[in-house]
Amino acid sequence: MRYYDPAALAKVLADGIAEMKLDIPAEQQEKLMGYLALMNKWNSVYNLTSLRDPMQMVTHHLLDSLAAVPAFAGARNVLDVGAGGGLPGIVLAITRPDMKVSMIDTVHKKTAFLKQVKAELELANVTVHTMKVQDLEVSDKFDVITSRAFADLSDFLNWSAHLLAEGGRFIALKGTAPAHEQERIPSEWRITDLQPLHVPRLGAERHLVFVERSV
């Protein structure tokens, strides 16, 4: 676990939020910093992320996920597939306490971490599942299913389509706009939008891919 100056990290987070013109109250920013502290603490043992520098975690994880938050406006019930260390699921849960956020991963260590974050940050809107998404069954289907660097678009759609509510959509967080993945998606799906994201202090491409049923 690397030492870091919490005040310096909090300033970078706040400056990034201001640059993206997001409305994230101080209380939520404090929870985001609490999440970062837990990730940094657990990462040395659980290998939640390949990043070891907390400042990089602010830009590559927190700000990166925060840039996608406006795309979830109006969402009521969201599933984060292959949630890993909780990105974007935990960030969505913190910034949208009115929205239910479920996260699923097959790795027990990662879901144990997510449950710890839920408990310590008192995130009552979070549910954590440890299993393959193909095996998950729910009574209340999701209006948005999301993932961040999880899988090829076709696999993402095929594995989790049974969980999408009628009229719902997928939002995939990707790096470069994946042209080859777009061409291979099943015929019953269509890409409705491809949105580039600007992430402060992150010198890399980021895109959101929006997918809905074609019929």
Report the distance separating Cα 88 and Cα 173, nearest Å. 9
Instruction: Check the annotation: does 215 bind a ligand.
Output: no
* Widest CA span in the chain: 52
Partners of 148 in beta bridges: 173
Supply the Cα-derived Rg of the chain in whole angstroms: 16
Instruction: Check the annotation: does 28 bind a ligand.
Output: no
Instruction: Check the annotation: does 148 bind a ligand.
Output: yes
| CB of 144 closer than 8 Å to CB of 171 | yes
Residue 96: how many other CB atoms lie within 10 Å: 18
Report the distance separating Cα 125 and Cα 7, nearest Å. 28
| CB of 121 closer than 8 Å to CB of 37 | no
Instruction: Check the annotation: does 133 bind a ligand.
Output: yes
Instruction: Check the annotation: does 134 bind a ligand.
Output: yes
Binding-site residues for S-adenosyl-L-methionine sit at: 82, 87, 133-134, 148
Binding-site residues sit at: 82, 87, 133-134, 148
